[in-house]
Structures are given as C-alpha cells and as structure tokens.
Structure 1
Amino acid sequence: MRYLAIIAAAALVSACGNSDPVYNFNHREAGSSIDEGGFGNPTMHNMMVMTGQRSYAIDLGKRFASEVPSTVTFEFNSSVLDGTARQILRQQAGFMRQFPEVRFRVYGHTDLVGSDAYNRSLGQRRADAVVHHLSSLGISRSRLEAVVSFGETQPLIYTNDRERRNRRTVTEVSGFVQNHPVVMQGKYAEIVLRQYYGGGDGGGEGAAGLGITSP
C-alpha cells in the first residue's frame, strides 16, 4: 500500500508538470480556452451568456436593423452629413430614446479609392460625425461608441472605382448599460419586447398607434 501511494504521488507531480497540449486543454479551469490574455474576459463572456445578455443584445440588434435604417452614406472624400443622413439619424435617435438601457456602436467605412491608412482615418471621422450628431439629438454620449473603423476593408460593392454605397457608417446595438436599474434586474426580454410610441422621430406604428398602454 505504501508503495502504491508513492507511485500515485509521483504520477500526480508528473501530471502537474505535463506539457502535453491535449492533457492541458482537458485539465484547465472552465473558460480558459477563450482567454486571449485580458484579465476577467472568460468570466465576462460566460456571465453574458448565462444571464442571457448576449442573446438578448443580438435579438434587439435585429429589431433595430429591421425597424430603423442603420446605414448612412457620404460624398466622396467627405465626412459631412447630408440631409438624407440627418433624416436617417433622427430615426435612429428616436429608436434609441425608447431604449435608454441600450448601447450602440458606429462603424465607419470607405470605398477602395485611396490608401488604407487615409481611408481608416476617413472611416473614423465618419463614425465620429454620426456619434456627434446623435449626441446633439439628445442621446447620451456614454451610450455611443465610434471606436472602430473598417476603412476600405469591408466594401459592400467590390470595385476599385468610387462607390457611394461603400462610403457609409453602420450603427449597431453593442450591449446594455451596466448600471441601469432595469438591466441590473436582468429584465432583458422586457427591454427587447417593449412597445414604443409611433409618430415621433422613430416612425412607424408603436404603442400609441396600436392602442397599447406603454409600460
């Protein structure tokens, strides 16, 4: 028995120093396989999945994209918002005002004319212009992000010529405001399914048009 105990202890020590990647993968702590080096990221990812926040953000994002134009376009080599862009952003702001628990991200894009470095900068300026305008319409700047510019790397139309449809920004739902009392209670489904009033900047038939009492 004493001999067996010694063998078992030696095996345990050997296992602790095992460099076999297959062994290590199967003996890691839960969540470590998606840890890219940022402290707490696996825990955050798991918590979002377990609480339903991740899936509800996706559902609300689909609703936003179906009810409100999510894209505005620009003149060549410009980040100036024209009348059509401002009208679309008023609709986006109308939707955003009905969901104060929700955060949004704006992605800037360009066409393929010009250098990658210049187009990245131009895409960022376009995203910044949209965020600034939404903020001027009463949307809290803390709920808006313009931190990502895809530049010329994700064209809708693959052409080396000037193409307005590629010169765009896209607004998307990025998550929920963490310190909002409703979010802290985990009422994500209630947020996604909420009816909102029609006839405002958001447009379309809402609670008022359907005779539904707003929550």
Structure 2
Amino acid sequence: MRNWMICLGVAGTVSACGLEAGYQVDSGTFGNATLNNVQMMNGERSYAQTLADRFAREVPTQINFAFDSAQLDASAQQILTLQADWIRQFPEVRFRVYGHTDAVGSNAYNNSLGMRRAQAVVSFFASRGISRSRLEAAVSYGETQPLVATSERERRNRRTVTQVSGFLDRHPNILDGKYAEVIYREYIKSAEPKTSLKIETTSSAFEQ
C-alpha cells in the first residue's frame, strides 16, 4: 500500500516535505507509559517510585543554606513554594526531607544542623497548609554525603532534598484506591483543553 507523504508549510516555509508523517513523534520515550504500567503490575516498579520520578522531573527537589544556618532565604522559599504546590496536588502521598551539611564542624554538630535544616523545610510546608502527618524530617546525613568533595565551606553541600516516600496507609503490593484516585484525577485533568489550534488557510501555517 502506498505510503502517503505530508508536506507542511510552517510560517511560509517547508519544514517536513518528503518525510513520513510522525517521523518526529518518538523522542526516545515512546512506550514508557506502557512499560511503567507493566512494571508496576508485576512488582518491578513501585507506585511511589513513579511519583517520585515525576516529582524530581517537575520541580527542583533541593534547596541550599548559608554557612552554619538553617534559615530559609528567599531563593529557598521560592523553590519550596513550588514543591508545596506540587505536594498539595497529591494528598495521598507522604514526603521525606533529608538534611545535609558541608564538612566544617564536628560530626555531631553537623548531624544536628542537618536535622534542623530538614525540620525548617517541614515547618515551611506546614505553614502552607500541608499536614505534618504527611511530612517527615527523617534523616540527617550531616557531612557524610557531599556533592562536592571538600573539607572547606561549600554551599552546594549545605542542602536539603525533598523526596516522595510512599502513600498514606498503603499496602505495598496492591494497586489500591489511593493510587487509583491519583491516576483518575490526572486522567481527567489531562483532558482539559489548554490551548486552541488555529488554522490559517492563507499562509498554510499552524499557530498554537
């Protein structure tokens, strides 16, 4: 059967003439949705991990601190506001905050400082209306997991990282109602029109 070719003129220029329709569709992620579904159903991939991956893709998961401080500066608060907005979309999900420091100071002091930083983040989320029952300042790694290997002051090592840790009261081996609610809610949201497609017949161009 003859393959039909489509030649589209965009803004008055020919950009896809002579190439099969759909040649640009696959950006390397085609089939990932089906793969994720299969992996979750056979136990290879947890439901929480799927949301954790999405959280890491859609918002910055890390903030940084001044030396010997657990105060949230303006930049940190902006990032945490983005995190809080994302977290509020998923009332079924728990989150954990990990605290880190640089290598200046004793291990004991840095463990305490890392925990204070994690607790500051949890308090910020709580002030934005997120229940503390969903939040945990669980671990302080202190100076043990630096991003930059140095014994000097290093802002990139003075950080907290927010991660998805699981579902509220969820059995680990079943596709329960909570996760189904997330899927359904996101499915309905995806059907909402975002933009309209306007076709200009005079210039043979598509504008969105």
For Structure 1 versus Structure 2, the TM-score category normalised by the shorter chain is: 0.5 to 0.7
| Residue 144 of structure 1: aligned partner | 135
**Deviations for 1:99-124, whole angstroms, at most 9, x for unmatched residues?**
00000000000001111000000000
Flag as ranges the 4+ runs of structure 1 deviating above 4 A.
49-54, 205-208
| Residue 163 of structure 1: aligned partner | 154
SS at match of 1:148: strand
| Residue 13 of structure 2: aligned partner | none
Maintained 8 Å contact 1:72/1:85:
yes
Please state how far the C-alpha of 1:147 moved relative to its aligned partner.
Answer: 1.9
Identity over aligned pairs, percent: 61
1:90 alignment partner AA: T
Quote the RMSD (CA, aligned, Å): 3.2
Q: Larger deviation: 88-97 or 49-58?
A: 49-58
Structure 1 residue 135 corresponds to structure 2 residue 151: no
Please state how far the C-alpha of 1:139 moved relative to its aligned partner.
Answer: 0.6
1:63 alignment partner AA: R
Query: Which one has the bigger helix percentage?
Result: 1
Change (3 A) 1:210 1:161: farther
Distance, in Å, in 2 between the alignment partners of 1:51 and 1:142 is 30
Please state how far the C-alpha of 1:193 moved relative to its aligned partner.
Answer: 7.7
**Deviations for 1:138-171, whole angstroms, at most 9, x for unmatched residues?**
1111000002100000000001111000000000
Gaps of 5+ in 2: 1-39, 197-208
Instruction: Work out the number of aligned pairs and report it.
Output: 155
Distance, in Å, in 1 between the alignment partners of 2:60 and 2:49 is 17
| Residue 164 of structure 2: aligned partner | 173
Distance, in Å, in 2 between the alignment partners of 1:206 and 1:64 is 21
Gaps of 5+ in 1: 1-48, 199-204
Report matched runs for 1:81-100 at 5 Å: 81-100=72-91
Change (3 A) 1:152 1:67: same
Maintained 8 Å contact 1:196/1:207:
no
Distance, in Å, in 2 between the alignment partners of 1:186 and 1:123 is 36
| Residue 104 of structure 2: aligned partner | 113
Structure 1 residue 57 corresponds to structure 2 residue 35: no
**Deviations for 1:69-113, whole angstroms, at most 9, x for unmatched residues?**
100000000000000100101100100110000000000000011
Distance, in Å, in 1 between the alignment partners of 2:149 and 2:191 is 38
Which TM-score applies when normalising by structure 1? 0.63
Match of 2:67 among 76, 86, 99: 76
Please state how far the C-alpha of 1:50 moved relative to its aligned partner.
Answer: 8.2
Change (3 A) 1:187 1:124: closer
Distance, in Å, in 2 between the alignment partners of 1:130 and 1:59 is 23
